[in-house]
Every structure is written in C-alpha cells, then in structure tokens.
Structure 1
Amino acid sequence: MPYRMLGSTGEKVSAIGIGGYHIGLPTDEKESIAIVRTALDNGINFLDNCWDYNGGKSEERMGKALRDGYRKKAFLMTKIDGRDKATAAKQINDSLRRLQTDHIDLLQFHEIIRMPDPERIFAPGGALEAVLEAKRAGKVRYIGFTGHKSPDIHLKMLHTAEKHNFRFDTVQMPLNVMDSHYHSFEKKVLPVLVKQRIGVLGMKPMGAGIILKSKMVTPVECLHYAMSLPTSVVITGCDSLAVVKQAIEAGRSFRKLSHGEMASLLTRTAKVAADGEYEMYKTSHDFDGTYHSPEWLGPGVSGETG
C-alpha cells in the first residue's frame, strides 16, 4: 500500500482512505467491523468519519472495530457540524465516546458549504475555540475542514483563517474525473493547498457512485485519477467487503497516470461533466446534511446554502 505525507504534519497516511458514511450502511454490524479491520490489516490506515453520519451509527461501529489493538493501526479522522463553541465541544466529546478513543488524529469542520460559515467558526465564541481547547487537552492532534459545494467557499475559509493567523493542517474536497469541468476544486483550490503544503484529502472519487452511471469510467480509473493528483489520501466509501477489497487492490496496483492518460480521461468525460449532472453534491441539496438538519449547526444558524 503506498503511503504519502499528510501536508506538512510529518504524518504518513495511506494513499487510499476508508469513508465513514458507508460504514453505517450494512445491515449487519459485523460486516461494518470487518470492513474497517480488513482495510487496516491490508495497510489502509486513514479512516474518515463524522459526528452526524447515520445518526452516530458510523462512529459507533468504527469505535467497535478499533477495539482489540486496532486503534494503534489507524490515523483516525472525524468531523463536527457545530458552528458555535458549545455545540462544537459537545460534538467532539460525543465523537470521542462513540469512537472509544481518548484522541482524534484529525478533526475537521464539516460541510463548509455556505459563505457565512468561515466567519461563524472564527468568530468570538465560535467553533474554533472549542477545537483549540480540545487540542490543548490532547483530544485532537490536527485540524482541517471539508466541503463539497463550491471552491470559492473553500478559498474564503482559507482566507479567513489567514486573517486570523491560523493555518489548517488539511482540507478535504471533491476531486474526480468530472470536477475539472465544472466549478472545479482541482483548478481553483488544489494549487493553493499544494503551495501552502496543506494536506489534500480527496473525496467523492466516484461522486458517491453517480459518476459511474455515466458509463464513461470504471471505479479503478476514478480512484487512480484522484490518486494521480497531488493528494495525500483519496477517501472512498466501502459498504461491503467486496468493495473494500477493490479499494485495497486499487491502492496496491496504483502507478501514477501520465499526463496523456489524465488528459484522455478528462477528454472522455468533458461532455457529460459540463453542467454538473454527475456532481449532484455541487448542484443540489441531496448531499447537504446540515441543510436538512440545521440544528446540527447550533442554535440560530440557518441551514440554507444560498
């Protein structure tokens, strides 16, 4: 399994990571545990999760999977939705309890999908205060943020951090064969992260499976395209042992695609990707958990994304 440096943290993470949302989907909890442990036993060490995934079930199942010595094999990431200090602090403690750990390796602000989100997080009494307190207490090692809606919102989050003399360790965003053609994170945000040596977490390499419906690319092509970008890790959802084994094989068989191979994939997808039809996380509310449940953000915060 190839490993890469996580930005300038000094940490080495597997080039492929396991998405947390899908861990809560199998009917049988034992299969969820087997997915996590199979990944860890085969060299995938980066685990993604979130406070709100499947009503907490994803974190609870991952916590059970990390028993019996598996925690030490994992670089564990989870996310919180709270925009104010009190809500964020509660969600951090909920996640620690569910994940059955005394620390989270990487904590990220989730769903930065609204232009006011950066100001809310960095405001006096905002969520960053809770995360920094958790870091000082040893509950959190590194800090990042994630979002899937607009590269301009990501750039605003980075700019807001800079204004407050704060530097994120990681940024998570969609990176795939369609993104380059429509409101592109690859074109607008990725170069900034590389320049600043911030860890790049690629997500939605297959657009939650929607990209595969275009019939233009295979799952392995999707993973290898995203892995050929300057990503620290590409996170992919695995809801069965068969899918996690496919991810493991994609990692082991990876060789960086040439410029010509990358260009060929982009040419193949250009027409179908032009209007965002296969990137519904950008064009609809279908993937906006905090739009549908704005109470996760904290009191008095609207879930509207504009």
Structure 2
Amino acid sequence: MNRREFLEATLALMIAPSAFAAGTPSATQPVPRRKLGRTGEQVSCIGVGGFHIGKQKDEAESLQIIRRALDSGINFLDNCWDYNDGQSELRMGKALQDGYRSKAFLMTKIDGRDKKTAAKQIDESLERLRTDHLDLLQLHEVIRDNDPDRAFAEGGAIEAMTEARKAGKARFLGFTGHKSPDIHLKMLEAAKQHGFRFDTVQMPLNVMDAHFDSFEKKVLPVLVREGIGVLGMKPMGGAIILESKTVTAPECLRYSLSLPTSVVITGMDSLDRVEQALGVARGFKPLSEKEVGALLAKTAKAAKEGAFEKYKVSQHFDGTVQHPEWLG
C-alpha cells in the first residue's frame, strides 16, 4: 500500500465529525473515535498505555490519570497481567469503580503459552481489574519464532482464550508483539491454518519503524485488507525516539494517528501527558503526504539499524525473556 492508500484507509476508520474540525483544538471538542476492525466497536483514537499506570509513587495519582482520561473522552485502556507485578491492573481496577467501568473499552494481555497458565492469568487479571469481562483479551509478546506454534498447539493459549470468550470473560481476542513483523505474519498465518480469526493485532507503529524492519510496511497492509483492528503502540518508542532530537512528541503522535490505526496507545504517566495526548487527538486530521514525507526525511538517518527502536534490536523490552516462568 502506498501513502495515499494508507490515507484513504485512515479516513475510512474515522467516524467523529470533530476529526475534521479546523482551528485550535479546545477542551469542548470530543476525542475522535474510530472503527475497531470488523468488531462493530468504536474506540478513541488515543488509548491509555497500561505499563505507565503502575509507576506512580502515589497510587491516587494513577487513579486520577485514568479517570481524567475517561472523563475527557479517551475510552481505550491498555493493560497486561505482568505490568509492574500486577500493580497496573490493580490500580486500573480501583479506578474503574464508581461507574467508570461503563466508560471504558478495557483490554489486557496474558503471557501464558499453555492453556492452564493462560486460563489462570485470565482469571487473575479479571480479579485485579474488578470486572467480570474484558472487552479485549490479547496474547502478549509474540516475539519468538515458535510462539505461533505454541499458542495454537493442542492445549495451548488460544484454547484458553477461546474458552474465555465462550464463557463471557472476553468479548474479542487479539495478540501483541514488538520484535519482528515476520513473526506477526507467521502468527496470522497460523491463525488462518487453524480456522481462527483475530479481532485485533497490536504492534509498534512510529516514524522510526517506517525505515527499519517495518511493521508498517509488512503487517499493516495485511491487517487493513482483512479488516482486523490495528492497535498502534510505542509511538515514541518508549520515549527513546525523542532522544534522537529529530521529532517532537506531538509529531510522533500525529504520525501514528495518520496511519490506519483504530487506536494509538501511548504512555500517560502524568496529567500533563494526558493533556498532551488530548491536545493532539482533539481536532485531529491526518497528515498530508507532504507532511509525512517531511517527518520521514528528518528521521531517516537516525532510524538506521533500529538505533532508536530498542524493542526490536535488544531484549530490553522483553519481559517474558527476563521472566520465562510467566509463559508456563
């Protein structure tokens, strides 16, 4: 797909009239929503990253960040069973009390590769999050070449996830990974071979990825063609991209939002970060081909060999490598 086709696909996902509003965004403008693949769901174009929600020293600050986001129109919440030793889910669960659960499209991820481990983690996540169901359940860190085979094996994680959906514990199913677009493609092929269809796929989509071993170039066109919801993550590469001094945080967010993503998940570790995300989302309209070209030109040299995409070229972001026991 070329840039024009990406732009057309992005526009097809956008459903809020405010997405095309002109002028300076204001607090009265709603956060635009987009279609989540073929699910029939509508999610905010920006989502709250779960990892950062367990890092605040004061738990009350975490709850305030989540509730500010929900009150401001961000409805997509990301999380994971292993984030911050469970603190991310525990805090999010507390924040979702007092009527806030109904405002959220709640997603979490599990690490277990066998059915027993996966099922246990699903139930633990539900307990921590204080809910009887997840809107979206995803298999986390599909980063090894054998992960697709393990997940779809008899007695594998997909069986636990499918049973969770049948039991009403999860509405939709997906998978995530940050290491290799080829492994993502292998996972999608494994699903096809087993007569299974993912509702969503999560992956890094940013200005650096476009230059090196690119999820945008290899995986994104497949997801768009098959109507699978695209969850973009690491728009700033865990803030490492900003260290390149080639782009700003708002530019990073605008670039990722200009791709045919259903939601761009970004870390919000303070109220200031929430406001930054809201400022970009409100009144957003996709970058032109010329604007995209200018951003890619600025980042091309820095992006070589994945220098600012540590999640691809190192194990720094690989939680399940550091903790193989989480896999079961």
Do the two structures share a fold, i.e. TM-score over 0.5? yes
CA distance in 1, matches of 2:248, 2:264: 16
User: Is 1:202 equivalent to 2:232 in the alignment?
Assistant: yes
CA distance in 2, matches of 1:285, 1:125: 28
Match of residue 107 from structure 1: 137
Q: 2:116 aligns with which of 73, 86, 89?
A: 86
- Sequence identity, in percent? 69
CA distance in 2, matches of 1:12, 1:250: 19
Match of residue 188 from structure 2: 158
Name the SS for the 1:271 alignment partner. Answer: coil
- How many Å apart are 1:253 and its aligned residue? 3.6
CA distance in 2, matches of 1:92, 1:242: 32
The alignment's TM-score, normalised by the length of structure 2, stands at: 0.90
CA distance in 2, matches of 1:105, 1:277: 35
| Letter aligned with residue 252 of structure 2 | C
| Letter aligned with residue 154 of structure 1 | H
User: Is 1:189 equivalent to 2:219 in the alignment?
Assistant: yes
CA distance in 1, matches of 2:139, 2:272: 31
Match of residue 291 from structure 1: 321
| Letter aligned with residue 152 of structure 2 | F
Q: 1:10 aligns with which of 37, 40, 43?
A: 40
CA distance in 2, matches of 1:98, 1:85: 20
Match of residue 303 from structure 1: none
The alignment's TM-score, normalised by the length of structure 1, stands at: 0.97
- Aligned pairs for 1:1-306 within 5 A: 1-298=31-328
Give CA deviations for 1:1-42 in whole Å, capped at 9, x if unaligned.
110000000000000000000000010000100010000000
| Letter aligned with residue 40 of structure 2 | G
CA distance in 1, matches of 2:53, 2:192: 35
CA distance in 2, matches of 1:99, 1:248: 24
CA distance in 2, matches of 1:155, 1:133: 24
| Letter aligned with residue 21 of structure 1 | F
| Letter aligned with residue 280 of structure 2 | A
CA distance in 2, matches of 1:277, 1:7: 32
Name the SS for the 1:173 alignment partner. Answer: strand
- How many Å apart are 1:274 and its aligned residue? 1.1
Name the SS for the 1:105 alignment partner. Answer: strand
| Letter aligned with residue 71 of structure 1 | R
| Letter aligned with residue 41 of structure 1 | D
Q: Which runs of 4+ in 1 moved over 3 A?
A: none
Name the SS for the 1:96 alignment partner. Answer: helix
CA distance in 1, matches of 2:165, 2:199: 13
Match of residue 17 from structure 2: none
Q: What are structure 1's unaligned runs of at least 5 residues?
A: 299-306
- How many Å apart are 1:133 and its aligned residue? 0.9
| Letter aligned with residue 186 of structure 1 | E
Tell me the matched-pair count. 298
| Letter aligned with residue 300 of structure 2 | A
CA distance in 2, matches of 1:130, 1:194: 27
CA distance in 2, matches of 1:130, 1:218: 41
Give CA deviations for 1:189-215 in whole Å, capped at 9, x if unaligned.
000000000000000000000000011
- How many Å apart are 1:87 and its aligned residue? 0.1
CA distance in 1, matches of 2:313, 2:130: 36
- How many Å apart are 1:249 and its aligned residue? 1.2
CA distance in 2, matches of 1:217, 1:100: 39
CA distance in 2, matches of 1:133, 1:80: 14
CA distance in 2, matches of 1:212, 1:269: 11
Name the SS for the 1:229 alignment partner. Answer: coil
- How many Å apart are 1:245 and its aligned residue? 1.2
